[in-house]
């Protein structure tokens, strides 16, 4: 259809309505996911500790479980379920003493972390003196 041709106003309005209907049809085929929001919010509310505190830090942690195809589990329970231990829980007086010896010998924090089995952040705290009470 060329615009150069003479068309009546009724024909053009008919075509406009036809195009608008097609646009609406395209928009209506999209899945309305806003309905899932309330469902997720209610499910997120169910996960509370006995004292009323939230199990998850936020909805993002909660949704991360669904994205990964896992049932929603709190991060601490998730780590325990898959045998992931915390490196910071291993800070003992022996570890602090060993880290201080390695610091004195000139090793880097990442090397010390690898040798002692604690995180680099913990080694930084040992260097700073936060764990002097343990040593």
pLDDT by residue (tens digit) across 67-112?
777 666 665 666 666 666 665 567 888 989 999 999 999 999 999 9
Full DSSP string of the chain:
--TTS---HHHHHHHHHHHHHHHHHHHHTS--THHHHHHHHHHHHH-B-TTS-BSSSSHHHHHHHHHTT-----HHHHHHHTT---SGGG--HHHHHHHHHHHHTT--HHHHHHHHTS-HHHHHHHHHTTTTTT-
Domain boundaries, the chain: 34-81, 88-128
Residue percentage of the chain with pLDDT more than 70: 55
Considering only the top CATH level, what class is 88-128?
Answer: mainly alpha
The mean per-residue pLDDT over the stretch 116-120 comes to 87
């Amino acid at each position: 259809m060329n615009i150069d041709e003479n068309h009546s106003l009724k024909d053009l309005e008919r075509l406009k309505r036809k195009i608008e209907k097609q646009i609406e049809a395209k928009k209506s085929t999209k899945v309305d996911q806003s309905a899932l929001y309330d469902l997720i919010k209610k499910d997120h509310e169910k996960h509370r500790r006995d004292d009323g505190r939230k199990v998850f830090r936020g909805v993002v942690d909660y949704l991360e479980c669904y994205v990964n195809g896992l049932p929603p589990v709190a991060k601490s329970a998730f780590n325990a379920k898959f045998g992931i231990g915390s490196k910071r829980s291993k800070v003992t007086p022996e570890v602090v003493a060993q880290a201080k010896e390695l610091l004195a010998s000139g090793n880097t924090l990442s090397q010390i972390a690898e040798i002692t089995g604690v995180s680099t952040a913990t080694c930084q705290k040992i260097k700073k003196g936060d764990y002097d009470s343990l040593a």
